[in-house]
Amino acid sequence: MQTEKVIIIGAGPCGLSTAIELKKKGFDPLLIEKGNVANSIYHYPTHQTFFSSSEKLEIGQIPFISERQKPVRNEALTYYRTVADRSNLRINTYEKVEEVEQSDAGYTLVTKTDKGESKQYQSTYLIIATGYYDHPNLLNVPGESLPHVFHYFKEAHPYFNKKVAVIGGKNSAVDATLELEKAGCEVIVLYRGSDYSPSVKPWILPNFESLVRHNKITMEFNVNIEEITEKSVFYHVNGEAREVEADFVFAMIGYHPNQEFLSSIGIKIDFDTGRPQFHDNSMETNQSNIYISGVIAAGYNNNEIFIENGRHHGEKIAIDIANKETR
């Protein structure tokens, strides 16, 4: 069994930032990541543009230089790889944490690599920085698991000249719709809200509204999805039953943290907000020596914490652990 002082689960921007802050305090944490470095960003749409400017995505006091004020996905991937390399971070990629158990010496972790190899670790401190992008919200309607229904959007080219239904009305849905329309798809957007979401990025909303006004995109508000079949989506608008043909369906209705994992290690979750219990000043949870870092702290409200503010959690955590070690 490998023994560590600090283990960080997740090697996204907030996990990397936390590791860097701990190194400043004299620790050498091990990061365990089930995919690659910045795995969630890797799974973003190919042409994704960030909401934040590049300087607000910086970690470890390493400048993030981009061609435009708001960087794109590939620039971010390059930047976070560079940060991990320059900071000499220890990262085990393609290794998933499957179990965490409390022990006399701290916490025992059981992992499995992508090759099927099982490993065990012992750690005094545990930091969870797993984000929420890996767990999409579900519609919970018949047909949602059909092979032509997706909860992630990569790029529009495969859907050229096809009828596509996009379910949702926030940033991920709007971004996907714009790409699909540009690629020559016939797109309808089905949104449960009564108007455009105020969270939509302000620099893309005018273009989206213009496409709707000019009938380039069909937009339906006050939608309640009932069923998805191989050829159609059935729904209600203000009680009126409707049907639309769809070769492909993108259910872009948001994501949530892995609450089952958090609960399995004893972290309390607020039922209404989805927020794990933690202390604001240290990010320590109700479980002694287990911390959370990044957007996972926001629960269901993933518009509350982004990279630009979640990256500062690491400093709080590092200070608290350093203080504990000097007592």
Q: Identify the pLDDT of residue 64.
A: 92
Q: In terms of domains, do 21 and 127 share one?
A: yes
Question: Tokens 């973003």 identify what position?
Answer: 44
Tens of pLDDT, residue by residue over 83-110, are: 999 999 999 999 999 999 998 889 999 9
Task: Report residues of the chain scoring pLDDT below 70.
Answer: 301-306, 308-309
Q: In terms of domains, do 36 and 118 share one?
A: yes
Q: Give domain status of residue 143, yes or no.
A: no
Residue range of the domain that includes 52: 2-135+255-326
pTM above 0.85, yes or no: yes
Distance CA 308, CA 77 (A): 16
Q: In terms of domains, do 125 and 263 share one?
A: yes
Q: Which of 198, 199, 179, 195 is nearest to 187 (CA)?
A: 179
Q: Which of 170, 172, 129 is nearest to 310 (CA)?
A: 129
Q: In terms of domains, do 131 and 261 share one?
A: yes
Q: Identify the pLDDT of residue 84.
A: 97
Under 8 Å between Cβ of 123 and 5: yes
Q: Identify the pLDDT of residue 305.
A: 56
Helix (H, G, I), strand (E, B) or coil at 54: helix
Both tokens of 132, joined, read: 């929420």
| Last residue in a domain, options 221, 251, 281 | 251
Domain with residue 126: its CATH number is 3.50.50.60
